[in-house]
Amino acid sequence: MSAPQQKLEKMESVLEKYIPEDELKEVKRVLYGLNRGKPVAKLPITKEAQDLATKYNFEIVASKIEAEPEQLRPPRIVRMGIIQNSIAAPTTDPVLDQYLAIESKIEKMIDAAGAMGVNVLCLQETWHMPFAFCTRERYPWVEFAESASNGRSVQFIQRMARKYNMVIVSPILERDDVHGSTIHNTAVVVGNNGNIIGKSRKNHIPRTGDFNESTYYMESELGHPVFHTVFGKIGINICYGRHHNLNWLAYGLNGAEIVFNPSATVGELSEPMWGVEARNASMTNNYYVGSINRVGTEHFPNEFTSGNGKPAHKDFGHFYGSSYFSSPDNCRTESSSRVLDGLNIAEVDLNLCQQVKDKWNFQMTGRYSMYADFLTQYVKPDYKPQIVVDPAMK
């Protein structure tokens, strides 16, 4: 817990600790936005949920985001939850033991979500395993992969979904036995009846540094599905897809009201981007975003290099957690911790999405035909960029 990136437990705590109330209000207005003219409200945490958190050493934060009343539509209040977790057993333990240790931890956290009345929950990217792709080793890591229709973790999530009448998005490493036993980075969407509604896959695969995932799985060919559940329309933009504005846009144009971004990312690479990209997506596409990052440092048995000239090592840095929600009206919620497991909850009114679209008109003014033409031209091998050279240079 002494690495520089772990000095900061949580941005909000530092701001609240030092800045006087009057100025803090202004700082938070600019950094976190307002909901209906006021700071985002806290949602009370039930005793049952807090007791679980205390007993099992995770943090719960909970917020409430409101919409305006409408005349013809009732409010559509939904409680969303996102869970960030560290792994629960050494990466040298047998695969099944590692999985079961994480499952046990997640079960308590879903119990707490249930005790808070969460309707829609999303877990972190490949939550059921260490993020071992940095190693470039196949075994034992691919043994964590499982069927998206009846894998071990899928069945566990189905049980939890039924138990709490909860839609659960479960991002896993998938093995697709129907298609050549290939591996995929997949989010399984389980309905509140425990039924499997469908799956979505990662659209953009990183090919940089320790993110060697392109050696494990390919880009999704499943498009940008939006899952219409009883608790709203949900899209899943997995991890590196958050750097691609077109990816966010496609979920929005397909009607998403909530987009989850289950991720695994470390401080040195991405932390200054973490509070920016998802919020930008939320405010320009006018849907809620739940951003989830795993937490902690994962040590692997064998050393590996990172393609950056530095010596081989056995971990790739601290996953800084900091999961949070962005709102379509450009406010955001408190972060989860940078160092602790966490359940972050937001009670929202889904009507806010359309209300903000009606107010800002980004979709009406989007000129999508122009950009369809632009991209169609751009991808041609003989594309000529629209460059105007200063005649004085010629």
Annotated catalytic residues are: 125, 202, 239
> Cβ of 304: how many Cβ atoms within 10 Å?
18
Residue 152 beta carbon to a second copy: minimum distance, rounded to whole angstroms:
23
Q: Which is nearer to a second copy, 2 or 386 (CB)?
A: 386
8 Å CB contact between 200 and 222: yes
Tokens of 367: 């000129």
Judging by DSSP bridges, how do beta strands 232-236 and 258-263 pair with one another?
parallel
Nearest in space to 356 (alpha carbons), one of 334, 325, 330 = 330
Residue 254 beta carbon to a second copy: minimum distance, rounded to whole angstroms:
4
Q: Which is nearer to a second copy, 94 or 223 (CB)?
A: 223
Q: Which is nearer to a second copy, 7 or 73 (CB)?
A: 7
> Cβ of 176: how many Cβ atoms within 10 Å?
18
Q: How far is CA 78 from CA 75, 107, 229, 285, in A?
A: 9, 21, 11, 19
Residue 175 beta carbon to a second copy: minimum distance, rounded to whole angstroms:
22
Residue 309 beta carbon to a second copy: minimum distance, rounded to whole angstroms:
12
Q: Which residues pair with 324 in a beta bridge?
A: 291
Q: How far apart are the C-alpha atoms of 121 and 115, rounded to whole Å?
A: 13
8 Å CB contact between 202 and 208: no
Residue 298 beta carbon to a second copy: minimum distance, rounded to whole angstroms:
21
Q: How far apart are the C-alpha atoms of 6 and 300, rounded to whole Å?
A: 20
Longest dimension (CA), the chain: 73
**Amino acid letter at 204?**
H
Q: Which is nearer to a second copy, 22 or 382 (CB)?
A: 22
Q: Which is nearer to a second copy, 117 or 209 (CB)?
A: 209
CA torsion angle 336 340 343 348 (round to 10): 0
Could you identify the residue written with the tokens 């799956």? 199
Residue 1 beta carbon to a second copy: minimum distance, rounded to whole angstroms:
14
Q: How many CA atoms lie within 13 A of 27 on its CB side?
A: 12
Q: Which is nearer to a second copy, 50 or 297 (CB)?
A: 297
